[in-house]
Every structure is written in C-alpha cells, then in structure tokens.
Structure 1
Amino acid sequence: MIANTLILLIALLHLYILVLQMALWTKPTGRKAFKLSPEFAEASKVLAANQGLYNGFLAAGLLFSLTQGEAGRAFAIFFLVCILVAGIFGAITAHRKIMFIQSVPAVIALAAVFARI
C-alpha cells in the first residue's frame, strides 16, 4: 500500500512536470519553475516539450504498473529505475536539485517496492 501510494505520487509529479514543460514552459509559471528568461524559454520550447513528453511516458508507465497487480511490480521497478537514472543525469548535467526532486523519491519508492510495503 505504501509503495503504491509513493508510485502514484511520483507519477503525479511527472505529470506535473509534463504540464510545466509542454504547456507552461514560456508562461510565467513555467519560467519561474525553471528560472528561465523569456527569450531562452521561447528558444527552447520545442526541446522542453520533448522532455515533457518523456516525463509523461514515465508517469504512464508508473500508472500502468498500478493496474497490473503483482505483475506490475516489475514495471514499477523498471520505471522507477529510469527516473532514478534520469535524476542522476539531470543532477550532473543541469542542476543538483533534480537529484532531490526525482532520484530521492524514486529510491524511496524502490525501497518500498522491494520491501513489499
């Protein structure tokens, strides 16, 4: 139950990131979230939309895992590891806070999945 709740929360987080990157990137909310100038936001909006789509796929995978009963455990592990790796890469290449936004919650959820709680 705890693992499923954590998976759901992480999926919702990635849906929120999808909205920020695909719909709000050039808007004040998106620019503030990512500390972007209006010029940079406009110039990079296609790249951001692409990133947002990938975040949506991560969310979809996690949500799918929740519908599959015990078989969904493997899907959850796969997508949580993807998020963990993406968070580490983002922390190295973009901003350290990505580690705490993506990787740390993924590790906590993975621990819950492996503990079967």
Structure 2
Amino acid sequence: MSKQLPLAAVDACCSPLAREPLTAGQAVDLARLFKAMSDPVRLRLLSLIASHDGGEACVCDLADAFDLSQPTISHHLKVLRESGLITGERRGTWVYYRVHPEVLARLSAVLVAGEPPVVTA
C-alpha cells in the first residue's frame, strides 16, 4: 500500500518568495556574507560568539572549543570580521568578539518568505 502526501494549495506553490528580486549589488553583498559563513568552523565561531554570555566572547574562550591551532582560529575570525559579521575589541592581551545583529537580520530577511531584501553596503 502506497502512502500519498497531501497536495499543497495551488496558491502556495505559485506565490513569490520575495516581493522583488535582488539587485546585482545586493547579490554581491549577500554572497560575501554567505561565503564567510559557508565554512563549518566559521559558522560554529559565529554561533559561539552569538550565544556567549553578554553577547561577546574572548578569543581565549573560542579557541578551546576547537581542535585547531590558534593561527587557524585567528584566520577564521579575521574572515568573519572582514565580512562585517563580527567586530573585535582588544582588551589587554585578549580580543573580545561580538556579532553584528543587524547584519544577521539582513541575511535572515532574504531567507524569510515575503520579506524584502534589504542590504546596504
């Protein structure tokens, strides 16, 4: 006996996911951000920083979560920082990282159906 899935409403399959398509500039900006997050280590780093107490994490706390060398962790943090996803502030000998929530909000707006793509340089 074969089971069939219920059919979706016709309107659901034909409605657009966004109100308007991305411009060329928006696509370039978004691709840069998504590319920075496309590495599993960078995605975990971003998640660790965002979920850390107070919304910021010391590089000393982040390095312990990985079986990677300090220079490798620093490289991944540099990629995230240069993309604009995080910011770093030196305090003494350590650097503390914080996620830019407005950048994550722009990314999420593209992924949520019906939201207009809002990306500024």
Return the index of the structure with the highest Cα Rg. Answer: 2
Same fold? TM cut 0.5: no
The structure that is strand-richer by fraction is: 2
The structure that is helix-richer by fraction is: 1
Q: TM-score, normalised by structure 1?
A: 0.31
User: Which structure is higher in RCO with an 8 Å CA cutoff and minimum separation 6?
Assistant: 2
